[in-house]
Structure 1
Amino acid sequence: MAKFVLAGKSDCPHYAKAELLADSLQRSLPNFRIHKLSILPHEWQEWLEATCKRNGWKHETSPLVWRELVVQGGKGVLLGGFSDFLEHCQDYYSVTSDMPTDVMLTVAAENLETKMNLVVEEQHRVSLIKPLHIWISSALNPTSHFLIPNLLSAEVFPHVSTISLHLLDLEGTEEGLQGLRMETEDLALSLLHQVTIHTDLEQAFQDADVILLLDEGWSDDSDEEEKRKGLSDRYGEYGRLMDTRANKAVTVIVCADSFANLRCSLLLDNAHSIDSSQFVTVSTQLEIEAKAIIARKLKVRTSDVTNVIVWGNISGRFYIDLQWAKVFNYDGAIRGPAFFSQPAQMILHDRKWLETDFQDLVRCRRAAVASKSCRVAAMSAANGILAILKAWNGICSPDEVFSMGVLCPGDYNLPDGVVLSLPVTFTDGKWSVRFDATVGDELKERLQLAASELKQEKEL
């Protein structure tokens, strides 16, 4: 059995005549099948050239007819134009068409009107779909493979019906991004509307609702000065593009191992029309790493440790503070039900360990993971981003404490205009800095040093 494909301009009289002849044959012959493609007049030439190039054909007029061998399989065979199709029908089926010219013109006009109505209906249908646009930069970072499957879910975005995912990577290859897109589509996630890939800044951050900036894969040969220069140029451009293209209510989250606070500060300097509270840097990965170290020492689960605070420069001078930290399910002198917790500082009596070894262990934790697994700590990075997004979307307790790099509000005697990691809580989709933390002289000094370090990074 053969299937014919009939394609032509919507307003072409010969296409209309061939169409009615094909309909007549399909009604009377059980093994005759026709598939019709009505192309808008202004799109016809481009479509024809692309189709002929793809199949190695030469054809210049409307309509275009070819035959596909659906039983044997294989490449389609060009039949030709209207005259060739008419001759084929006469030779094989002894059927011809005697449609007068005025009827041909009438049917052609009806075809065009029908096609235009279908286009309008499709545009209206598409306009009813309002996807959430999520952009991931440096999308070929290993973190994406752990982030994407959990990101596109109702657990993270409970009030979203559909998501358009945009994968941007300026260092990566288009082939690599194509592979990531295929993997994402293969997940068959119910919220996923479409995946698009980008290897340049031509469309970067257009209509963005959420932007997740992952760490770039800088060359190992790059020195610190080159990295800073590259970051300054890139994140300055990122900020300007967000300012002009992204939605004004966009959420921007920076996740990086190096110069994390500096990146966020560069974005803020160049995105003047977007509220500074919508730009944050993830400290959650450090929180998780600190919790894991405490949990191992106290022989509890990592999830049993809560409300750890990270102060300062996330990828530089930071300090892990346990003044609000709680420990559940600790097997000590005092026991209680599952909801019972004890202050971490009461259980951890070794103050010297907390101020020295513990801080060093957290600082080296990520490098230790990378050396053993031979890759970056991608899972904890993805988990940190997801934790912040869930809290931002209302999936957290109002008492739960998070650490984030935010534009310093000038409290704790810190200079304005510096991005520092501070304790925050989320309420009704908005975060606010906790101002009731105890900040002694020693911690103030640490924060001043962190602020000085960040100002120096920015000046350099």
Structure 2
Amino acid sequence: MAEPIRVVVTGAAGQIAYSLLYSIAKGDVFGKDQPIILILLDIPPMLPVLDGVVMELQDCALPLLREVIPTDKVEVGFKDIDAAILVGSMPRKEGMERKDLLKANVAIFKTQGAALDKYAKKTVKVLVVGNPANTNCLIASKSAPSIPKENFSCLTRLDHNRACSQVAMRCGVSSNNVKNVIIWGNHSSTQYPDVHHAKVNVGGAEKAAYDAVKNDAWLRGDFISTVQQRGAAVIKARKLSSAMSAAKAICDHMRDIWFGTKEVSVCRKEIKL
């Protein structure tokens, strides 16, 4: 069996990570024959919670999981890592101006970028999840000048998955029968889900999305607003932000970055630095 790879997840005590870590540890991201060392990085007040997460991962008895390391120190978290999933960031709180949010996240991602530059392998693949993901990714990359810029990307795969699912449900097919969906813009309500180049496999025949859906008004109206507002709709229903679907999107994104896609298709919008 292959040598273990080292994977760090930041914000590891949070709800997204709670849905994410099991999938990584059981081989959904890096392969079913790839042993994993998981490093769980979070702020000092969350270390007791991380201890509980470590116990649960141990109790899962996952054959690929070689070690779990909880820490609040970047020099431990980023040491010799092969992949970094940066979930943790400062959330926007009531009364907080955008400039205040950006200022807080500059400090976080500048520190993490510098730690990547100093401690991580130069081949490390970095996925920024914490919002504003595009800006945070840029900060991290600029703070890690010795790591190739193409090794950094940020998450918009959740919006892509939402768009694919909406089209698939409308056509009565599974989501893997929808391809070439594009998400333009940030992970926010201003994004534009674009299906003008999308294809849908219906009954073995590949059709353009507009021909498969047969409802142009829906594609130009409710489809777009549903994808744009999906995060808010989840919060309204759950009283919590998306976690399970966000974790699945992280897995999809990192798996494609790690292994590549089987065909040339636009399945996500990655940050261009």
Equivalent position of 2:23 in the other structure: 150
**Equivalences for residues 14-413 of structure 1 within 5 A:** 130-158=3-31, 161-170=34-43, 172-216=45-89, 218=91, 220-221=93-94, 223=96, 224-256=98-130, 258-315=131-188, 317-329=190-202, 336=203, 339-394=204-259, 396-407=261-272
The amino acid across from 1:150 in the alignment is S
The amino acid across from 1:372 in the alignment is A
Cα distance 1:259–1:161, how it changes in 2: closer, same or farther (>3 A)? Answer: closer
The amino acid across from 1:152 in the alignment is A
Cα distance 1:260–1:299, how it changes in 2: closer, same or farther (>3 A)? Answer: same
CA distance in 1, matches of 2:44, 2:207: 48
Could you tell me which runs of 5 or more consecutive residues in structure 2 were left unpaired when the two chains were aligned.
Answer: none
The amino acid across from 1:280 in the alignment is S
SS class of match (2:31): coil
Equivalent position of 1:432 in the other structure: none
Cα offset for 1:375?
1.8
Cα distance 1:316–1:207, how it changes in 2: closer, same or farther (>3 A)? Answer: farther
- Confirm or deny: 8 A CA contact 2:182 2:268 kept in the other structure: yes
- Confirm or deny: 8 A CA contact 1:252 1:278 kept in the other structure: yes
- Confirm or deny: 8 A CA contact 1:310 1:320 kept in the other structure: yes
Cα offset for 1:230?
0.5
SS class of match (2:74): coil
Cα distance per residue 1:160-212 (max 9 Å; x no partner): 64211100112642110100111111111111111111124342311111000
Point out the more displaced range, 344-353 or 147-156: 344-353
Cα distance per residue 1:399-434 (max 9 Å; x no partner): 343213222xxxxxxxxx4xxxxxxxxxxxxxxxxx
Query: What RMSD, in angstroms, separates the aligned Cα atoms of the two structures?
Result: 2.3
Q: Where do 4+ consecutive residues of structure 1 move more than 6 Å?
A: none
CA distance in 1, matches of 2:122, 2:176: 35
Cα offset for 1:151?
1.0
CA distance in 2, matches of 1:217, 1:172: 15
Which structure is higher in RCO with an 8 Å CA cutoff and minimum separation 6?
2
CA distance in 2, matches of 1:231, 1:354: 36
Identity fraction in percent: 27
Cα offset for 1:358?
2.4
- Give the count of matched residue pairs: 271
The amino acid across from 2:220 in the alignment is E
Cα distance 1:288–1:161, how it changes in 2: closer, same or farther (>3 A)? Answer: closer
Cα offset for 1:217?
6.0
The amino acid across from 1:347 in the alignment is A
- Confirm or deny: 8 A CA contact 1:164 1:195 kept in the other structure: yes
- Confirm or deny: 8 A CA contact 1:309 1:320 kept in the other structure: yes
Point out the more displaced range, 344-353 or 368-377: 344-353
Cα distance 1:220–1:313, how it changes in 2: closer, same or farther (>3 A)? Answer: closer
- Confirm or deny: 8 A CA contact 1:134 1:165 kept in the other structure: yes
Cα distance 1:376–1:323, how it changes in 2: closer, same or farther (>3 A)? Answer: same
Cα offset for 1:215?
4.1
